[in-house]
Amino acid sequence: MNNNIDNTLRDYAAGSLAGNALQEFEQRLRDEPELQAELDLYLALKSMDNQRLKKQLSDSITVEQLSPTVPPRTGFRLLLQWLAVAVSLALALTAWWRWQQPTKKADTPAQIAQTYIKEPYPSPVSAMGEADTLSDALKSAFLAYRKGNFASAAQQLTTIAARSESDDETLFYAGEASLQTGQLEEAIRHFERVGAGYWREAADWRCALALLKSGQTDKARPLLEKLRNGTRRTHAETLLKAME
């Protein structure tokens, strides 16, 4: 056998030939009886020799107590495993943290009212020339309100509001300044004196907040029901829902 045929014959016997090489070789086996005889001889000798060698080698497995070893982890596999551990840990910690958190209770009407009260009603706006008609006391009280000095504003406005001729705007800001300083009953009293007109709805709204803050929900409810029909509908409904 020449060396090239020899190698092809070995590859064919081992099942390593494929494609055209395999087809060509099988055709040659059909056409050349000598080649077929060479293959038969090779297979007979090789299978016999392999049988002998395999016996020797398999004996060494028992004698040497050879055993399979777990393949080392590759960098990528290791990274994936670390990532899986990290994600599991993060999930477990998040679950534990959430479990530890006290269940958040829904806000009470008083708490919701406080969030609205915290934002003072906008300061009085002076129309052109109006400043000349306002009394010095009212000017000073409004100035204090504008500056956020609600205690001073409340004191001054309460004094002015005590007069019978006080207008609704003065009464409203007397109530709002009192509300901002936490004088709830005083604030309610001022708001309730506001007459029908532009300031009435604002007074009802701020009065309802003062009533809720002081725990008088029964009195606040009709005011809020009334406000459901006006511009403060969303706020009023939020509070009414919280009161249910």
Partner 1 sequence: MTAQEFAHFASGDEGALQQFFKAHYGYVTGWLIYREKCPQDRVGEFYTDAVLRVRDKAMQGELEAGNLRAYLLLTAINGWKMELRRETSLLKRHERYLEQLPGDLDDSNFDALIRNEEETGLETRQQQSVLAIQRALKLLSDACRQLLTDTIINGIKVGGLVEKYGLKDARGVTAKKQDCKGQLQRLALQVMQQNQWSL
**Using the rule CB under 8 A, which residue among 23, 47, 111, 231 binds partner 1?**
47
Nearer to partner 1 by Cβ, of 40 and 225: the residue is 40
Nearer to partner 1 by Cβ, of 47 and 126: the residue is 47
**Using the rule CB under 8 A, which residue among 21, 53, 87, 95 binds partner 1?**
53
Nearer to partner 1 by Cβ, of 49 and 185: the residue is 49
CA angle 148, 151, 152 (to 5 degrees): 85
Work out whether 90 is an interface residue with partner 1 (CB under 8 A). no
**Using the rule CB under 8 A, which residue among 21, 57, 78, 85 binds partner 1?**
57
Q: What's the closest the beta carbon of residue 72 comes to partner 1, in angstroms?
A: 9
Work out whether 26 is an interface residue with partner 1 (CB under 8 A). no
Nearer to partner 1 by Cβ, of 69 and 100: the residue is 69
Q: How many residues bind partner 1 (CB under 8 A)?
A: 36
**Using the rule CB under 8 A, which residue among 24, 32, 40, 130 binds partner 1?**
40
Work out whether 50 is an interface residue with partner 1 (CB under 8 A). yes
Work out whether 60 is an interface residue with partner 1 (CB under 8 A). yes
Residue ranges that bind partner 1, judged by CB under 8 A = 1, 6-7, 10, 12-16, 37, 40-51, 53-54, 56-58, 60-61, 64, 66-71
